[in-house]
Amino acid sequence: MPTNLGYQHKSREDLIAQDQCRFAEILLKADPESIIVVADGTYLYIQKPSDCVLQRKTYSNHKCRNLVKPMMFVTTTGRIISADGPFFANNRNNDASILKDLIEKPESELMNFLQPNDVLVLDRGFRDVLDLLTENNIKSVMPELLQRKQAQFTTEQANSSRLTTMIRWVVEGANGKVKNKYGFFDSTIPVTYLPKLGNLYQIGCALINAYTAPMRTDSDELAQLAESAVAKADQENELQKLVESENLHRRSRAKWDSLNATQLVQFPVLSLEDLRLLTMGSYQVSLAEEYTKFHCSEASDYNVFLHKKISGLMKIQMKSRFRRSKTHILFIRFYPGTNGASGIQDWYCRCQAGARIIGSCGHVASAIWFLGFKKHTNEPLNQCNLSTMIMDAATEVEVSDDSDSDDEESEEDDEYDDTFSLISHFFTGINICFCYR
């Protein structure tokens, strides 16, 4: 274990030379001599303890289960530097408080490892510790937070968040690799293992470092992708400006032709490589089919609206997968008659992250995937719906408004209502009496 895990198992120079991607350095504009570390906590679910104090401290209000939380630090290639803990799971042991404890405790191994101008890539759960990192001359990168009464990120905020998420997924991949490789950590762990659970988890992380390949390696394609993303970071979403200036998201101000997917023959034909280039990643592409199946199940067909005056501008209304009553409106502008990634000009969605131009949100990716790729393969969507195999008791009951239904009530029900009414008046009188006295 000491040769494969821990802050001292490799020197800083070796970690930077062997386990740090140039891709991340370009995206974050980091100093080549600084180390970029991605941090996140993970969950190890445990049985409900009989000890009352332990039961309270291991209960997570977020997951509504008993668990403990190791804190993992990985490089940008996915190599695990350290797995500290495990920590309790109550409100006083959130990600920010755990990182604060690791920084402030005497002879902190983490602070002995980190040096000024090093970069920590974090998620939004660490927002309360950002000032402490700044005081210690540690740079921090985190996705943006919506301000009060802000419904959508600006283009600049959405692009900045995307640059961060393009890097920090490796810590999620490292957590998943440990749990997938060793199913013990992915199951509910008996309480009797708690005294040695931290050591067992660290042994699993050390084995992953020793015998598995890195999750990301440097390549010229990744470097070009990073340079392209950085070049777009400060640009504005021109289609968003057009939509808002012309009020195209309002039905009364725009004139559209309603079409189905088969009638839209002018849309560019794309390959999977074109899709990955447009979305700057594979996650949105993998999510596109599920979004499309959900959209087609809610509507009878994949309907699009083509603007009558603005050439190549289309609008689609898509249901949210999180909220039943929410509908997202997305716009895509393309060059009619062209093919490939260059045939898509720009896009804009009204969802929370839909204004970004570094990649796209899942709604836009779903529409482009179906219209530019899937419908040309002549293969039907995989309509295996597992939800149909589960019984649903939440059936809608029709409520009759017929006034004649009151005549069908029994005399026994009438007596019950009269008695209840009499008792209610009796206790109401007593309450009035007490109030008066």
Q: CA angle 176-112-109, nearest 5°?
A: 50
Q: For residue 41, what pLDDT is reported?
A: 93
Q: CA angle 188-194-198, nearest 5°?
A: 100
Q: How far is CA 142 from the centre of its chain?
A: 14
Q: For residue 69, what pLDDT is reported?
A: 96
CB atoms within 10 A of CB 238: 14
Tokens of 18: 């062997």
Q: For residue 276, what pLDDT is reported?
A: 87
Whether the full predicted model's pTM is greater than 0.75, yes or no, is yes
Q: For residue 381, what pLDDT is reported?
A: 67
pLDDT band at 220 (very low <50, low <70, confident <90, very high): confident
Per cent of the chain over pLDDT 70 is 86
pLDDT band at 266 (very low <50, low <70, confident <90, very high): confident
> What is the total residue count of the chain?
437
Q: For 75, what's the count of Cα atoms within 13 Å in the CB-facing half-sphere?
A: 29
Cβ partners under 8 Å of residue 17, min gap 6: none
107: burial class by Cβ within 10 Å (0-12, 13-18, 19+)?
A: exposed
pLDDT digits (tens, 9 = 90+) for 334-361: 998 888 888 999 999 998 888 999 988 8
The DSSP output letter for 345 is: E
* Selection from 233, 249, 267, 288 nearest residue 344 by Cα: 267
User: Which range among 90-99, 382-391, 405-414 has the greatest average pLDDT?
Assistant: 90-99
